[in-house]
Amino acid sequence: MHTKYTDFAPRWFDRLCLKIIDSVFRPMSLGSLVMILPDGRRLSYGKGHEIEAVIQIHDMRFFRRCVLFGAVGFGEAYVDGDWSTPDITDVISWMLLNHENHPTIAADRDKKSPVNWVGMINKCYGWFRQNTLRGSRRNIADHYDLNNDFFRLWLDPTMTYSAAYFQDPQQTLEEAQVAKYDVLCRKLQLRPTDHVLEIGTGWGGFAEHAAKHYGCRVTTVTISREQYKYAKERIFRAGLTGRVDVQLKDYRHLTGTYDKVASIEMIEAVGHKYLKDYFATIHRVLKKDGLVAIQMILFPDHRYEIARRNTDWIQKHIFPGSLLPSVRSVQQAINATGTLNLYHYEDMTPSYAKTLKIWYHLFNKQIARVKKLGMDDRFVRKWNFYLCYCEAAFKMRNISVVQAVYSRPNNLNLNDPLEFALSDKDQAFIGQL
């Protein structure tokens, strides 16, 4: 949200903030950035060619917003039209490339910085969006209950809103999303006799794929009412109501036991305070020799504590209450709540950068239809900034996405997950469904 009271700042303060931002940008020597001021002056930073970015400033208040609100103010200024660029991803990538000298984007509160003097406002915002049972429903509704028709405009036909699994350059997004579902099924070694729990339904793509192609039963839970309605209808249309049970339920209320557990990019919505609850639930409902497959977006360990103590632009405007875990925070939560042991681990970060790039182009092809749904230019700028911000973060490997598979010790049924194949008997059974 634009901080309206800063509009009353005198012009001398804007000029002072320009000098502060100029002093912050000046040491950044990797790649290059050209900043064009409203009066036509051009300020240049860096002489490298790794990334070449351009920012056009339309309103001088841009500088005070960066000084006062750091990375959050930078993003809000874009959404409000204070600056523009031919390529948002290049701008963010340039800043990430120079992040050691860039407190505006790096958000490293352990360093002395002339930027983000009143960041406590955003930190307080995060305190009020924690994932209690009621808070989780509100946080999820703010994003996923936006409008199924909106997401249908630019997601692929599988309606999948998570990283695809690209294996060759010729794959379409739809093919790569199906490949993601299938590789997770193989890593879980799914069989027709399995009862699978999915934590976080999305729009039902994984549940449909697992039941249709592996013959297993699936119980899938979500707290998004819009996704629940869509997934229920999807499973009905697919003729899988006898094998897939879609439930509107918080994962903390789960009962029963399951052979396998899958969770695709849901852990990011859990939050630091509830990571132990998440893994305690999995440990409680998983059968003795069960398998767990989690696709998750991760912060680097060295940035996790800083990230969890602050609220960034994505948390404030796109995914309230969210927090990317880190390898260490995940392992600490697992160790504190049970005996799960890492069995298989695969990084697929480049696939997410490609997924986001495709989403960005698909979204922008549908702008006219997006506006017919009632969204305005400001909404479009917000979503463009979000998609490009995330693409840059994955492209520059400032965050990563992985698939991790866990089991308990002494599970003698484990095989190489990528070489798993259904037996002829299982395939015959599935063919009769």
Residue 73 is classified by DSSP as H
pLDDT tens per residue, range 90-104:
999 999 999 865 554
Average pLDDT per consecutive 10 residues, the chain (433 residues; last block may be shorter): 50 92 93 97 94 97 94 96 98 90 47 46 45 54 70 97 95 98 97 98 98 98 95 98 97 97 97 96 97 98 92 90 95 97 96 98 98 95 97 97 96 78 66 68
* C-beta of residue 202 within 8 angstroms of C-beta of residue 159: yes
* Domain boundaries of the chain, sorted by first residue: 4-118, 133-431
User: Which stretches of 256-300 are DSSP H helices?
Assistant: 275-285
Instruction: Give strand ranges (E) for 182-251.
Output: 195-199, 217-222, 244-248
Tell me, yes or no, if the pTM score tops 0.85. Answer: yes
What Å distances lie between residue 127 and 74, 107, 132, 316, 332, CA to CA?
A: 21, 18, 11, 11, 23
Looking at the domain that runs over 133-431, which CATH code has it been given? 3.40.50.150
Taking alpha carbons only, the member of 175, 193, 95, 115 closest to residue 355 is 175
C-alpha neighbours within 13 Å on the C-beta side of residue 55: 28
User: Which stretches of 26-119 are DSSP H helices?
Assistant: 61-79, 88-97, 103-106
pLDDT tens per residue, range 296-324:
999 999 999 999 988 899 999 998 888 99
Please identify every residue annotated as catalytic. Answer: 390
